[in-house]
Amino acid sequence: MGVLDVGSNTVHLLLVDAHHGAAPTPASKRKIPLRLAEHLTPEGNVDDAAVNELIDFIKKAQVLSEDMGATDVMAFATSAIREAPNGDDVLRRVALETGVALEVLSGADEARMTFLAVRRWFGWSTGRLLVMDIGGGSLELASGIDEEPDVAISLPLGAGRLTRSHLDADPPSPEALRELRKHVRAQIAHVAGRISRVGEPRIAAGSSKTFKQLARIAGAAPSSEGIYVRRTLTLEALRETVTRLSSMSADERARIPGVSEGRAEQLIAGAVVAEAAMELLGIAELAICPWALREGFILHRMDGLPS
């Protein structure tokens, strides 16, 4: 089974061996750093160059999927396509030229499917679970005791979006950072009550590349040690990381072990969002989950297939 994820930062193809009652096991993956949100016209439309590159990648992904013996390839898009005025035109063109029907997920769907993946990873023994996920375009928050969260929220606080809208230089000025913090905290504070009212979590988890990289900077095990190693991120360590990153250029951040060059520019904004979310939701430590939206999408579809 394959899943094609058209995100704000990157387009991913993940091929997995999957069947009912088993964890989806990665068989192959490919990605391109398309950064759709940076390919916007003044009107907010996704430009032709980005659409052409997206279609080219999808065609290559189809060939790889066939070569690997995939019997089903699902495809979805998130905030970059969801918010573009010409999003429907992009979907039609992709379908016409590749035969792939991209499903546009709502922000709440992103939060619910990510929650499902994290719940399956940690299991029922965790009790009430709070999940945070920082993408390129949005922040997802969800809390619940079952596989369907009691509350699922998406906010326009993605690391890429905020870097473009609020950070004025490299490294950013103190004034820009102050305005970014004010903006982020106001939006999270507005929904914090909805999350706290459903109950205090027994465990809080962070998924997504941003949380993984922040945890690595703070001392978590490298990815080379495998996905089953326990990794955490404390609020205390995150505060120190935010201070450290804020005085560094993107080139300097990219040289930190565990930070990818493509994410280095956005990492300050992502760290500010993570710090604000943990503080305002009263979270002292996050468990880092290796599964996120793509795995949740696969699990959701597997649950709906006949056994």
Domains of the chain: 2-104 (3.30.420.40), 107-294 (3.30.420.150)
24-50 burial: b if 16+ Cβ within 10 Å, else e: beeeeeebeebbbbebbeeeebbeeeb
Find the mean pLDDT for residues 174-181: 97
pLDDT above 90: residue 143: yes
Read off the pLDDT band of 307 (50, 70, 90).
Answer: low
- pLDDT, averaged across the chain: 94
d(CA 23, CA 228): 13
Omega before residue 201 within 30° of 0, cis: no
pLDDT above 80: residue 142: yes
Judge whether 202 and 127 are in contact, CB under 8 Å: yes
pLDDT above 70: residue 160: yes
User: What is the reported pLDDT for 1?
Assistant: 86
Strand order in the sheet with 129-134: 151-155, 139-144, 129-134, 203-207, 285-288, 232-234
Judge whether 130 and 281 are in contact, CB under 8 Å: yes
pLDDT above 60: residue 63: yes
d(CA 88, CA 194): 32
User: What is the reported pLDDT for 23?
Assistant: 83
Find the mean pLDDT for residues 51-62: 95
**Tens digit of pLDDT for each residue in 67-101?**
999 888 899 999 999 999 999 999 999 999 999 99
Judge whether 180 and 157 are in contact, CB under 8 Å: no
Judge whether 135 and 10 are in contact, CB under 8 Å: no
pLDDT above 60: residue 298: yes
Find the mean pLDDT for residues 167-174: 95
Q: Comparing C-alpha atoms, which of 306, 68, 91, 107 is closest to residue 191? A: 107
Q: Comparing C-alpha atoms, which of 264, 94, 100 is closest to residue 167? A: 264
Judge whether 93 and 77 are in contact, CB under 8 Å: no
Cα 65 from chain centroid (whole Å):
23
**Tens digit of pLDDT for each residue in 193-210?**
999 999 999 999 999 999
**Tens digit of pLDDT for each residue in 235-252?**
999 999 999 999 999 999
Find the mean pLDDT for residues 145-168: 96
* Residue carrying the six token digits 């750093």: 33
Read off the pLDDT band of 306 (50, 70, 90).
Answer: low
CA angle 70, 72, 74 (to 5 degrees): 120
d(CA 59, CA 82): 22
Find the mean pLDDT for residues 50-56: 96
Name which residue leads in pLDDT, 1 or 103: 103
Judge whether 296 and 12 are in contact, CB under 8 Å: no
Percent share of the chain, pLDDT over 90: 85
Percent share of the chain, pLDDT over 70: 99
